[in-house]
Chains A and B, each alone.
Chain A
Amino acid sequence: GDSVTQMEGPVTLSEEAFLTINCTYTATGYPSLFWYVQYPGEGLQLLLKATKADDKGSNKGFEATYRKETTSFHLEKGSVQVSDSAVYFCALTANTGNQFYFGTGTSLTVIP
């Protein structure tokens, strides 16, 4: 069945460091891929998404590219800030959009 595997945390970085959080997926067909972010005490909110191979999603300085050949959707940011401290979830939905599958989440802490 469909599934998402993401890098385990927690991850601790200094401010302005480069961030990569790995995400790989298993799916039949052509899924849509998402990164959600959960700030402390809040619900999940969409960070970025990509709906077809080679698409790049981007938002707030974060980027992820849909790589069908490696079944990956790694999240990157060139220079993290303290305000980026949160839990990040990779997710997919099959092209029917009926169900969503989430990774286990990666906790990021950015220290000044």
Chain B
Amino acid sequence: DADVTQTPRNRITKTGKRIMLECSQTKGHDRMYWYRQDPGLGLRLIYYSFDVKDINKGEISDGYSVSRQAQAKFSLSLESAIPNQTALYFCATSHPGLAHTELFFGEGSRLTVL
């Protein structure tokens, strides 16, 4: 089983619908992240969380919200989806307290907003 699991892996929805992408991890990491990948733009940070009570906006948080339900779970919501939110979304984790830590990624959730 993957250490970082994202659900759903693929989702097609319509403009205006509320969508939730879920992420769970078994690595025991405190830090969790949501990124968005678009062709030619690389990965952009949406939100990140360093522990259950800590939520921080990334560079492109508008139109998104998150919830850290437990150390192992971090969900991303689109309250009212729009077509330019069509993208590949990645959840990632990292080990706390290490200056030279790395990110561990899930397999991605492909979202299409019609």
Contacts and interface: CB of A to CB of B under 8 A. Distances in A.
B94 A89 contact: no
A97 B105 contact: no
Contact of B42 (A34, A49, A102): A102
Given A99-B45, A99-B48, A93 B101 contact: yes
B42 A97 contact: no
A32 B100 contact: yes
Nearest to A101: B45
B90 interface: yes
A43 B2 CA distance: 11
- Bin chain B's interface residue count: 20 to 34
B20 interface: no
Contacts of B48: 99
Interface of A: 32, 34, 36, 42-46, 49, 51, 89, 91, 93, 95-100, 102-105
15 contacts: A32-B99, A43-B105, A44-B90, A44-B105, A46-B103, A89-B43, A93-B100, A97-B101, A98-B50, A99-B48, A100-B45, A102-B35, A102-B44, A103-B42, A104-B40
Given A93-B100, A102-B44, A103-B42, 6 more contacts: A36-B105, A46-B102, A93-B101, A97-B99, A99-B48, A102-B43
